[in-house]
């Protein structure tokens, strides 16, 4: 029997979109072996005109060095009316690219893990084809989800939290279109989580001192050095592990510094499950993927920063569920670590349990099952079909919502 095709709409604007697609693909390969062929399509790079094609390169510097302008743009379009206006412009500018995309990537189910592509791609189907494949949106922001995620014509919209689900209802989706699943985390992450003692033996960490893991993302962005030095100045009874990522200059600067506690500095790593399993505290920005991984691993979070607009709700989500705290800047991070260490092993264990309670390790399997079910369905009539054959009428079975 021929394999069915799954196309993921994503872009490397941040690491979360590709990570989500990779996680879902891996889960489907495990759960439904030899049933599917997969494609990950970076829509910005391949199917949008200049200057949008450079968004993967622009995104990280933008949110790191011009966060307030990013926030303004994010919030400006995050309403019903202004969102429609912005999408109307995008649909026009991207029209040819989106039509080329659906022609070059025929599929049995289309899966979007990026908010900007739902409406333009659906518009391409609705204006050029009588039928389209089932369309699934997997939201990869946690709480402060943008209006662009909620394309009313989709067949399924999978939300990570109750807040994201409620925003979908506000923006016009129906309850039967949506489901709360959690955020997809790669099956290998769960598989590689081991007991703390075992993880520390593998990593050659000290088995007695509490371990604080400081992460600045794959590119080692943000005030990582300043936070590390603020922690160091407290001379705490702990060990400090720093992930410098691909930032070689940062790694060299850290390695040339003197430290008041055992300190290990890593470059970009591929063993984050082991590192989180071995850690007692995680210091990081409020990225949704890292938050979800930490909660699954049971590591309480100190959130040192967030992307304005996009990640505001992530902080609230973590703090209100006692999975961690928000402590902006190195001084606040160091003070929080000191307070947590003063609580002793019992206090850290209680914080670990609270973080773990917020994790949803089965999310990726639930999402894989939802996509599998959609892939079994026949093609869906589009608006083009209804508009050119009005006698058919508009019914719920047509697969779209006005």
Strand partners, 301: 282, 324
Helix, strand counts (H, E) of the chain: 19, 14
- Confidence at 402, pLDDT banded by 50, 70, 90: very low
- Whether pLDDT at 10 is above 90: yes
Mean pLDDT of 30-47: 97
Phi, psi of 286, rounded to the nearest 5 degrees = -85, 50
- Counting residues of the chain whose pLDDT is more than 70, the rounded percentage is 94
| Confidence at residue 64, expressed as pLDDT on a 0 to 100 scale | 79
| Confidence at residue 400, expressed as pLDDT on a 0 to 100 scale | 32
Question: Per residue in 255-271, pLDDT tens?
Answer: 999 999 999 999 999 99
Mean pLDDT of 185-197: 95
- Separation of alpha carbons 45 and 47, rounded Å: 6
Average pLDDT, rounded, for the chain: 92
| Confidence at residue 206, expressed as pLDDT on a 0 to 100 scale | 93
Contact 157, 147 (CB under 8 A): no
Q: Of 242 and 388, which is predicted with more confidence?
A: 242
Contact 271, 189 (CB under 8 A): no
Question: Per residue in 162-180, pLDDT tens?
Answer: 999 999 999 999 999 999 9
- Whether pLDDT at 390 is above 60: no
Q: Which pTM does this prediction carry? A: 0.91
Mean pLDDT of 31-44: 97
- Separation of alpha carbons 16 and 376, rounded Å: 27
- Whether pLDDT at 387 is above 80: no
Two tokens, residue 199? 């993880």
Contact 52, 38 (CB under 8 A): no
Mean pLDDT of 193-218: 92
- Whether pLDDT at 332 is above 80: yes
- Whether pLDDT at 397 is above 60: no
Mean pLDDT of 15-39: 96
- Confidence at 386, pLDDT banded by 50, 70, 90: low
DSSP code for 2: P
């Amino acid at each position: 029997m021929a394999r069915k095709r799954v196309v993921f709409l994503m872009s490397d604007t941040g690491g979360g979109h590709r990570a989500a697609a990779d996680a879902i693909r891996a889960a489907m390969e495990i759960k439904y072996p030899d049933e599917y062929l997969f494609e990950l399509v970076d829509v910005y790079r391949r199917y949008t005109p200049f200057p949008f094609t450079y968004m993967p390169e622009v995104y990280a510097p933008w949110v790191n060095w011009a966060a307030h302008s990013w926030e303004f743009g994010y919030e400006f379009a995050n309403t019903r009316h202004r969102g429609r206006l912005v999408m109307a412009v995008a649909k026009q500018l991207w029209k040819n690219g989106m039509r080329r995309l659906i022609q070059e990537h025929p599929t049995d189910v289309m899966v979007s893990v990026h908010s900007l592509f739902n409406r333009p791609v659906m518009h391409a189907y609705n204006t050029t084809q009588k039928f389209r494949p089932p369309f699934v949106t997997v939201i990869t922001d946690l709480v402060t989800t943008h209006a662009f995620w909620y394309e009313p014509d989709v067949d399924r919209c999978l939300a990570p939290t109750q807040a994201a689900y409620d925003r979908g209802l506000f923006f016009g989706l129906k309850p039967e279109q949506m489901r709360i699943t959690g955020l997809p985390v790669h099956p290998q992450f769960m598989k590689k989580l081991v007991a703390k003692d075992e993880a520390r033996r593998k990593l050659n960490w000290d088995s007695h001192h509490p371990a604080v893991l400081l992460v600045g993302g794959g590119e080692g962005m943000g005030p990582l050095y300043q936070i590390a030095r603020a922690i160091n100045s407290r001379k705490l009874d702990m060990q400090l592990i720093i992930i410098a990522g691909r930032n070689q200059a940062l790694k060299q600067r850290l390695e040339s510094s003197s430290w008041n506690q055992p300190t290990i500095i890593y470059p970009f790593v591929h063993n984050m499950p082991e590192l989180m399993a071995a850690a007692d505290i995680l210091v990081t920005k409020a990225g949704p993927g890292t938050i979800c991984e930490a909660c699954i691993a049971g590591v309480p979070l100190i959130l040192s920063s967030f992307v304005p607009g996009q990640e505001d709700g992530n902080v609230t989500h973590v703090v209100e569920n006692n999975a961690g705290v928000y402590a902006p800047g190195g001084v606040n991070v160091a003070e929080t670590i000191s307070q947590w260490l003063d609580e002793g092993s019992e206090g850290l264990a209680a914080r670990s349990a609270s973080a773990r309670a917020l994790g949803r390790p089965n999310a990726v399997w639930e999402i894989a099952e939802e996509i599998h079910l959609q892939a079994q369905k026949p093609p869906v009539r589009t608006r083009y079909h209804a508009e050119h054959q009005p006698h058919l009428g508009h019914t719920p079975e047509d697969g779209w919502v006005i």
